[in-house]
Amino acid sequence: MRTTAAVTEERGAPFTIQDVDIDDPRSGEVRVEIVACGVCHTDAIARDGDLPFPFPGVLGHEGVGRVEAVGDGVTSVAVGDPVLLGWPWCGRCRNCLAGQPRFCLQLGPLVGSGGREDGSTALARPSGEPLHSHFFGQSSFARHAVTAERSLLPLQTSAPLAAVGVLACGIATGAGAVLNTLHLQAGSSLVVYGAGAVGLAAIMAARLTPATVVVAVEPNAARRDLAVKYGATEVIDPRAVDDVVATVHEVCGGPADAALDCTAILPVLRGPPHDAVGQADRRHARRGEPDRPVRAGPACVAQPGALPVHRSHRVLPAGPGERGRRRVPPRRGGEARAPVGSVA
């Protein structure tokens, strides 16, 4: 079938909209008409060659749309169903069979090999020349995508479909790290470095936990405002304080109980998230992955011991000597109160 896609011809090349041919879905596959697709930092680094993916090909991994056609054996979705295109997983390895598809042992090839597990691709130029596909199992920078049935999440929402594409990546990354890995206890404190999509998702998820102190460290003023709107009890401008770690310790009454890096900036990852938390039984994770060494990437967690720390939220007065910090009084009865203090 003829469709259009944003094709990347070579490493570092711009996206160009081209006519392409896309396969009919095979057994266990679904073809989705894409309504919208988020643009993620991961797409940018893949285009630039920092994440392996062969070119020419089609990137995109935050797709949302409606089922247009189904292959043999597909039972969980039907033509016309709204779906979110999620993470690829093989369904056969020990981690998939144990109910942990996020840790699929075939994840690397499924994400970045440029095709299906058997090496075939779902995309081609009108001339018949193959184009690499199945980036993160979908290659959704296109009007249509072919993906495995098991990677789809049927949607039941009144929200516009174009608004929910990021649920498959940015939102799931930040919220999943908080809800599935940190397990914040009553009175806990969390510091989130970076308040982009991943960091804001973490902050929103933290408000669903018993944690009482949620700190956002973010140099962008507009993002700090969003962090307050979505649940941060404290915001810090790292450019306006002499020592971010010391400021976090002051806010939390000592080391924070957990820290979440959502910047993927190595100097940040190697410094404040490690130093801002307690030392006992520190562990690190990426995107909710437990107890494994990590490379730089969004949603890297640093967490001390598992015992809950009961600590009341401290509302400290803003004023001289506290530049770069803004305090937000704790919420009562689910209602947000007006922020107090100032940012120098």
Confirm if 336 and 329 have CB atoms less than 8 A apart: no
- φ, ψ for residue 157, nearest 5 deg: -150, 150
pLDDT-based confidence at 275, cuts 50/70/90? low
* The pLDDT value given to residue 164: 87
What is the rounded distance in angstroms from the CA atom of residue 257 to the CA atom of residue 288?
16
* 262 three-class SS: coil
Q: DSSP characters for 5-39?
A: EEEE-STTPPEEEEEEEEPPP-TTEEEEEEEEE--
Count the neighbouring beta carbons within 10 Å of the beta carbon of residue 327.
21
Q: How many CB atoms lie within 10 A of CB 186?
A: 12
Per-residue pLDDT at 187 exceeds 50: yes
Tens-digit pLDDT profile for residues 51-84? 999 999 999 999 999 999 999 999 999 999 999 9
Residue 326, pLDDT above cutoff 70: no
Instruction: Give me the pLDDT at residue 272, please.
Output: 64
Helix (H) or strand (E) holding 217: strand 213-217
d(CA 239, CA 242): 8
Residue whose pair of structure tokens reads 């970076």 in the numeric block: 194
Q: Which residues partner with 217 through β-bridges?
A: 193, 236
pTM across the whole model: 0.75
The lowest-confidence range among 7-11, 15-19, 25-29, 37-41 is 37-41
